[in-house]
Amino acid sequence: MASQMIVVSFQGDSADDAALAGLRADLAASRLGGVMLLKTNIKNLMAVGQINTAFRAASPDLPPLITLDQEGGAVE
């Protein structure tokens, strides 16, 4: 599926953030292949775990690719 090649960043640092609801819906509908966590998404270890769990639960049959931008530079 071509959508499996699409990985996006997002706003928010909690599994309860509204932006994550839309991403979970896109993952469940196979419109996205994964997400990229940026520095702004990292509140603490527990929150990151909850975010990752929410993304994986959205698409259990085809787990999303969850990436992390380690550099801290601009993503283009």
The beta strand positions in 1-76, using DSSP E, are: 7-9, 34-37, 65-68
pTM metric for this prediction: 0.85
pLDDT attached to residue 75: 54
Residue 29: how many other CB atoms lie within 10 Å = 11
pLDDT attached to residue 73: 62
How far is it, in rounded angstroms, from Cα 71 to Cα 67?
12
pLDDT attached to residue 72: 60
The stretches in the chain having pLDDT less than 50 are none
pLDDT attached to residue 74: 62
pLDDT attached to residue 31: 92
